[in-house]
Structure 1
């Protein structure tokens, strides 16, 4: 046993030397010779950080109405309402989150054994408590009532019933506040790069308070982050590219120029990599994320008005759709004439494979195929498209932008939103890209609802960041998940034969996916996984399942 543990420790130590969070960790570390010093505590804590979401955060976008996955993948089935309690994803999310919670509980039951200053131990423990709260928050968002597990369970304790959702939320918010009180406000750098701090705890408190309609708590927590004075929206000095630049390697925390990202899953070349760029613009297959007409239509025109009332909007052809729009649109969705990595060299469809000219619908292995006629360029590092699984881009789990959106939404939900509230939140997001300000008086004059416009802003700013599905559920807008997923007008195709088999609606827009359903209240929560319920009937089951 000691020999095995010694080998494991050497592996962890050598991995840790490559950089923070570069550890492929075991589920737990238990040994009488461990937990003695700060170095060992940090190694154990790194196993907890392994539970932060990576590319699977972006995959959650497939469950909403912003993008369409090309095959009947499990997340697409969830978004379409065509799944049962035995779907593998339903169980894997449950198991994965509780595995992470177990790692945190192992740490929290052992960290006080170390012979180091109590202040240091408490700070490290606070980081583990934040991660545990983050995982519990994800579970509550999916399943509602869940077991509130705060210790390493023995076999008899595995078969308890679920705790009420509100009790778990109380625990989450309290844990995050207590942890915030123990953590430093400064952004961690150097060997502590990516470690959670006060802002991370408070930002998560704001998120989960908002998710659970505790708007006063959400607004205060968001304002507490804002008042720390350490975060700012990322900019490279150019409104035409600052937003998109954040989601490239230029925005990696290691570069030291990003004061916006509060929590990230750090990735490092040759150590921790993924294939997100390639999956978005894969040159020989279907894109895994095809933007929908619903998302494209959500972007305002540059005059601050929706496309259905703005005199600036026209759509005589494909290129028209991208003109006179919120600048975040072309920094999120690929516009003709933009650089991309989705076309193979030698394809006669493009004289310059590095420049996007038109959508591709026929799967001939010579370019990226879209189901809707649109492509994302957000989160794409073009050189990484050709490298397969060697994309080392950071995944942004919590940004200061979300904090600002939470502040505005929480204020509005309490009926206390002022123009100043918008100016210190949403209008900062618009300033970054040179977009017209949101003005309450103008919204009223144009018959626009303030709540709807704040929700639109959240959808636009956080597109393809894994938030949309959860927003739809908490806003009780499940009907959106029952609508057909549509794309561009069929008549815009440069070669009509490539879309000849596409079904359209009465206005000529491609129907990329039909047959979706949403049953309320059933689909507002995931079911308790079949295998978990079978093992422990005391868990009960959610309504309709």
Structure 2
């Protein structure tokens, strides 16, 4: 069933037995509106019910969820900062992500779906339900750490509603059990927009890597088994041969085209969000990056600095890497940079006019283009290009990282994982020996707690992950599991502009940007954008755009901020719950 049909189905389904998400596991509309005696009997019934679970996946419509996940930790810079970035999070009275409605829907299904006599349908949709229970609980563990595990529906007099939190290891083990059930019982069918055994393998890879590295870097014993599970799940998916890295042999377009494709490229995309109808079922990737009302998103300079030169050497090895003009710093770099932000020669899809970065729409000057399609889709929710939720590239990165953290990685492992990502864009492969012989000081500044024999390699894998998965919602979870929260307090900077003057940002011989002091010039250059220094544009002491000078001093509480607080009301309702540390 396509996502478009799914939305239509949900309009009728929600009036029957789907509950509203709420803070309390019991705050529900009566599921008995549809009797289990007359439902859950056919494959269509099971499909109809489980279609509702897909609403749990991230989307990008009015709230820009997919695109703004990374803004909360500064990997996309907006003209306002998240509460996390400025240290303004508080313990909420209610809500705050402590919601259980989705879980009750899933458990209700699992208590009733075996009434269906269609064994194939039970295997498939039982796997879908367990996938989403795993997906739900993974989010809870990531946000709250220890949480109560519930695998049955409960009524008001059930004492289990008032249980204490189970350990994160117990819950993660249950998550992996659910995913193993799905992997072992679902068929080998491949779906673009529906959960399959391959999606379950990809989620297992993600969950196990998160938990293994979280426990390792947060000093929790027993992490090795999760890293091994991550490596094994990744390798199992790799060995199926079902997925590969999307490539047509064009290193200067293939990465960008993967995200601009109207229909998900299922050679690489394991699960996608389908968008089909502008306004009613479209997203706003174009509008997000091409209007000043969406926060003027921009890539930070720390991310730009992380892209290697096209020959595989490090851009930050030069002494003056923060004092290079935009036109010069974007030449001869990893081709993914030019396929993620506007660089010299950039033009819109289907158009030939070269466009410089526009500081009106990008607060750092590093103007994001990932997911941006033709100008026909520039309105609100006009984009209909599908958005990946799971893709094979992440699985390859998970595999390499898990093996490197375990100390069992080989050069062959790198060649068949990260080597494939670099090959798509014509970059040299990653050498294990060279990386470890000369760890990158710039990456070590971002990730100071990486050490050991594979320090250099782990730093390179983290570089690769940030670049390959940029703007896909992984960065904050990566920071949490690596315990590098202090990285979000580093200065936020943009392009180098040595004071007021006229600039040819794209290097085409024409002035496109003017920075002025005092009053705006009376005679203005046609086609150029004008910005007042100290008002429209602020510069740091080293002449980098300072997008938010009022927030240059920020803090991160290492003993508190990796987890969310449990809402006050929940602690009052259940005295067996305990608050997360230092909240």
Is residue 202 from structure 1 mapped to residue 198 from structure 2 by the alignment?
Answer: no
Structure-2 separation of matches of 1:315 and 1:482? 22
Is residue 241 from structure 1 mapped to residue 241 from structure 2 by the alignment?
Answer: no
Q: Mapping of 1:45-444 within 5 angstroms? A: 45-55=50-60, 56-72=65-81, 76-86=82-92, 91-95=95-99, 98-114=100-116, 116-157=117-158, 158-188=161-191, 193-213=192-212, 214-250=226-262, 252-253=263-264, 257-269=265-277, 273-309=281-317, 316-340=324-348, 355-361=354-360, 369-383=361-375, 385-444=377-436
- Over 3 Å counting, the alpha-carbon distance change for 1:135 and 1:291 in structure 2 is same
Asked if the contact 1:326/1:435 (under 8 Å) is kept, the reply is yes
SS at match of 2:290: coil
Asked if the contact 2:4/2:275 (under 8 Å) is kept, the reply is no
Cα displacement (A) at 1:391: 2.2
SS at match of 1:489: coil
SS at match of 1:206: helix
Q: Specify every segment of 5 or more residues in structure 2 that has no aligned partner in the other structure, as ranges.
A: 20-30, 213-225, 441-455, 504-512, 517-530
RMSD value over aligned CA atoms?
Answer: 2.6
- Over 3 Å counting, the alpha-carbon distance change for 1:107 and 1:268 in structure 2 is farther
- Over 3 Å counting, the alpha-carbon distance change for 1:390 and 1:22 in structure 2 is farther
Which of the residues 514, 533, 551 maps onto 1:495?
Answer: 514
- Over 3 Å counting, the alpha-carbon distance change for 1:382 and 1:80 in structure 2 is farther
Structure-2 separation of matches of 1:530 and 1:288? 35
Structure-1 separation of matches of 2:240 and 2:379? 40
Asked if the contact 2:3/2:274 (under 8 Å) is kept, the reply is no
Asked if the contact 1:21/1:266 (under 8 Å) is kept, the reply is no
Structure-2 separation of matches of 1:528 and 1:503? 39
2:570 is matched with 532
Partner deviation per Cα, 1:51-110 (whole Å, 9 max, x = no partner): 1221223321112231112235xxx1123332111288xx35332xx3322221221122
Structure-1 separation of matches of 2:145 and 2:242? 34
Structure-2 separation of matches of 1:212 and 1:160? 23
1:37 is matched with 42
Is residue 477 from structure 1 mapped to residue 484 from structure 2 by the alignment?
Answer: yes
Structure-1 separation of matches of 2:532 and 2:332? 27
Structure-2 separation of matches of 1:129 and 1:237? 38
Structure-2 separation of matches of 1:373 and 1:531? 44
Asked if the contact 1:105/1:152 (under 8 Å) is kept, the reply is yes
Asked if the contact 1:300/1:306 (under 8 Å) is kept, the reply is yes
Cα displacement (A) at 1:340: 4.0
- How many residue pairs match? The answer is 498
SS at match of 1:540: coil
Structure-1 separation of matches of 2:543 and 2:77? 19
SS at match of 1:70: coil
Cα displacement (A) at 1:22: 5.3
Partner deviation per Cα, 1:480-512 (whole Å, 9 max, x = no partner): 012221111232753112151144333221222
1:7 is matched with none
1:11 is matched with none
- Over 3 Å counting, the alpha-carbon distance change for 1:415 and 1:274 in structure 2 is same
SS at match of 1:263: strand
Partner deviation per Cα, 1:156-193 (whole Å, 9 max, x = no partner): 444333221111111011111121001123313xxxx4
- Over 3 Å counting, the alpha-carbon distance change for 1:215 and 1:536 in structure 2 is same
Bigger shift: residues 450-459 or 500-509? 500-509
SS at match of 2:493: strand
- Over 3 Å counting, the alpha-carbon distance change for 1:473 and 1:87 in structure 2 is farther
Structure-1 separation of matches of 2:103 and 2:274? 20
Asked if the contact 1:280/1:375 (under 8 Å) is kept, the reply is no
Structure-1 separation of matches of 2:243 and 2:120? 25
Q: Specify every segment of 5 or more residues in structure 1 that has no aligned partner in the other structure, as ranges.
A: 1-14, 342-351, 362-368
Structure-2 separation of matches of 1:400 and 1:22? 30
1:456 is matched with 463
Asked if the contact 1:233/1:429 (under 8 Å) is kept, the reply is yes
Structure-2 separation of matches of 1:231 and 1:163? 36
Partner deviation per Cα, 1:184-208 (whole Å, 9 max, x = no partner): 23313xxxx4221111111111111
TM-score (norm: length of structure 1): 0.85
Structure-2 separation of matches of 1:290 and 1:534? 42
Bigger shift: residues 51-60 or 492-501? 492-501
- Over 3 Å counting, the alpha-carbon distance change for 1:536 and 1:385 in structure 2 is farther
Bigger shift: residues 171-180 or 58-67? 58-67
1:509 is matched with 544
Structure-1 separation of matches of 2:248 and 2:298? 28
TM-score (norm: length of structure 2): 0.80
